[in-house]
Structure 1
Amino acid sequence: MYPIRKVIIGLDLSELDKTMVEFADFLSRTSAVEDVYFVNVIKNLHIPKDVLKEFPDMVENAITERKTQMEKQFEKFRSGEDKANFHFQVLTGKIADNILKYSKEKDIDLIVMGRREKAEQSGALSQRLARRAACSLLIIPEGTSPKMDQILVPSDFSQYSKLALEEAINIARSNQNATEITIQNVYTVPTGYHYTGKTFEEFSEVMKKNAEKNYKKFISKIDTKDVKLKVEYSQDTNEDVTTDMIDKAHEMNANAIIVGAKGRTATTAFFLGSIAERLIQLDNDIPLMIVRPKGKNAGFIEFLKEL
């Protein structure tokens, strides 16, 4: 897994900025991050040509004013202990399109976006970015404390799960191994189990033992770097494995969930994967990282322009 050195962090000049600046501080102090690009997008800056002729400095002044506001927000909430280089950029137009274009220009490794308590709009933006970004995405709920000592990594033992676990291991190493990682596999008892002559409970045990066997194969191919790992097997009880993942995250007081961009169970999106899609929808209070190999974006005419 490539190291995270360049990060984009969205600022929107609201109270959410406090959370975002605190996470920027945290990433700067505890990781290999070298450059943080704070980005704000002005959506409505379309000015008629005749008006611009009369007021030629209007756009430039609006951008300068917005950049000054961003810098003030940063100074208001920063700790002063950070090590990275901080940059401020104001873009104009559609939020997702501009962030994606800018991330490509700057060769960004990680996009960090905030999620307001009322998450309808920010949740939709996060899904667009997660589907189309050519790098990983970290979604931070408003008011979250920057901490990474308990990480949940849902796993179906696929290559995508491997990338997510390797990222969690990198974070733990940067955190001086003070992080405990829990790998969770949610298994399902298939319809038709009764034709085997076994009870539901007996076949549940069969599925669990199969998961344990697959985990041994999976973990044998990963350099855990002496990081503390714990594995949990959960039986899905309501035909929605993501709710089992979120329940486990709350149970263990996780301060991050890390998942690969696509897993074997992908059914609702071509390139993101159903688990990541559902986690973005349902996870309102725990930081969520969607890990994607750098440069491997959705493609397919940008996911058919979001359908």
Structure 2
Amino acid sequence: MYPIKKVIIGLDLSDLDKTMVEFADFLAKASAVEDVHFVNVIKNLHIPKDVLKEFPDMVDNVIKERKNEMEQKFEKFISGKHKANFHFNVVTGKIADSILKFTKEKDIDLIVMGRREKAEQSGALSQRLARRAACSLLIIPEGTTPKMDKILVPSDFSEHSKLALEEAINIAQLNDNSTEITVQNVFTVPTGYHYTGKTFEEFTEVMKKNAVKSYKKFINSIDTKGIKLKAVYSQDTNEDVTTDMIDKAHEINANAIIIGAKGRTATTAFFLGSIAERLIQLDNDIPLMIVRPKGKNAGFLEFLKEL
């Protein structure tokens, strides 16, 4: 897994900025981050040419004012000294498009976006970025305390699950090995189990034993770097594995959920992964990281399908 050195953090000059700056502070102190780019997007800065002729400094003044406001927020909520370099950027256009363009130009490793309480627009923006970004995405709910010492990693023992767990292990290392990582597999008893002659309870044990066997094989392919991992197995009972994941996260008081994006497939929704999509929709109080190998974003056809 590549190291996270360049981060983009969205600021919208609202109360949410306090949470974002505090997380920037946390990331800069507790990780290998070298550059933090704060970005504010002005959605409508279209000014007629005739007006610009009369007021040639108008755009520059607007951008300068925004940068000043961003810097004031930064100074208000940041604490201590950092090795990382902080940059303040104002861009114009549609929010998702502007952030993705900036991410590509600056070769960003991680996008950090805030999520307001009960704000559907925040969830929609996060989904759009998660689908199209060529790097990982961290979604921070408003008011979240910047901390990652209890991490839940949902796993189906696939390659994208491996990337998510490796990222969690990296975080644990940077956190002086004090981070607790719980690897959760949610299994389902398949329809038709009764044709085997076993009861529901008996076949539940069959599925769990299979999950335990798969986990042992999975974990042997990963360098855990001495970090202790706890494996848990949850039976899905309502045909929605994401609710089992969120329930487990709350049970262990997780302050982060890390999951892998699936990679390229024929349709946009499955490009991100249906579980990751669903977690973005449902998880509104725990930071959620969608891990993607850098550069592995949707191709042009996938982009068109999303429009």
TM-score by length of 2: 0.97
Task: For 1:162 and 1:182, locate their aligned partners in 2 and report how far apart those are by CA, in whole Å.
Answer: 13
Task: For 2:220 and 2:266, locate their aligned partners in 1 and report how far apart those are by CA, in whole Å.
Answer: 25
Task: For 1:66 and 1:172, locate their aligned partners in 2 and report how far apart those are by CA, in whole Å.
Answer: 36
In the alignment, structure 1 residue 170 sits paired with structure 2 residue 170: yes
Contact 1:262 1:274 in 2 (8 A): no
1:149 maps to amino acid = D
Distance 1:265 1:165, change over 3 A: farther
Structure-2 residue corresponding to 1:48: 48
Contact 1:139 1:289 in 2 (8 A): yes
Contact 2:28 2:34 in 1 (8 A): yes
Structure-1 residue corresponding to 2:296: 296
Structure-2 residue corresponding to 1:116: 116
Structure-2 residue corresponding to 1:238: 238
Structure-1 residue corresponding to 2:281: 281
1:234 maps to amino acid = S
Contact 1:265 1:274 in 2 (8 A): no
Structure-2 residue corresponding to 1:254: 254
- After TM superposition, give the deviation of residue 263 of structure 1 in Å: 8.1
Task: For 2:250 and 2:260, locate their aligned partners in 1 and report how far apart those are by CA, in whole Å.
Answer: 20
Equivalence map 1:54-133=2 (5 Å) = 54-133=54-133
Task: For 2:43 and 2:265, locate their aligned partners in 1 and report how far apart those are by CA, in whole Å.
Answer: 36
Structure-1 residue corresponding to 2:148: 148
Contact 2:38 2:88 in 1 (8 A): yes
Structure-1 residue corresponding to 2:23: 23
TM-score by length of 1: 0.97
Distance 1:302 1:267, change over 3 A: closer
2:214 maps to amino acid = N
Task: For 2:286 and 2:19, locate their aligned partners in 1 and report how far apart those are by CA, in whole Å.
Answer: 13
> How many matched pairs?
307
Structure 1 outlier segments of 4+, above 3 Å: 263-268
Distance 1:268 1:295, change over 3 A: closer
1:246 maps to amino acid = I
In the alignment, structure 1 residue 137 sits paired with structure 2 residue 137: yes
1:74 aligns to what SS in structure 2? helix
Task: Tell me the alpha carbon deviations over residues 237-292 of structure 1, each in whole angstroms, 9 at most, x when there is no partner.
Answer: 10000000000000000000000012899988131000100000000000000000
Gaps of 5+ in 2: none
- After TM superposition, give the deviation of residue 197 of structure 1 in Å: 1.0
Structure-1 residue corresponding to 2:271: 271
Distance 1:275 1:267, change over 3 A: farther
Identity fraction in percent: 86
1:174 maps to amino acid = L
Task: Tell me the alpha carbon deviations over residues 29-54 of structure 1, each in whole angstroms, 9 at most, x when there is no partner.
Answer: 11000000000000011111221111
1:96 maps to amino acid = A
2:231 aligns to what SS in structure 1? strand
Task: For 1:252 and 1:205, locate their aligned partners in 2 and report how far apart those are by CA, in whole Å.
Answer: 23
Contact 1:156 1:264 in 2 (8 A): no
Contact 2:267 2:305 in 1 (8 A): no
Task: For 1:70 and 1:305, locate their aligned partners in 2 and report how far apart those are by CA, in whole Å.
Answer: 35
Contact 2:5 2:32 in 1 (8 A): yes
Task: For 1:287 and 1:213, locate their aligned partners in 2 and report how far apart those are by CA, in whole Å.
Answer: 30
2:258 maps to amino acid = I
2:114 aligns to what SS in structure 1? strand
Contact 1:165 1:258 in 2 (8 A): yes
Task: For 1:301 and 1:286, locate their aligned partners in 2 and report how far apart those are by CA, in whole Å.
Answer: 32
Contact 1:266 1:275 in 2 (8 A): no
1:210 maps to amino acid = N
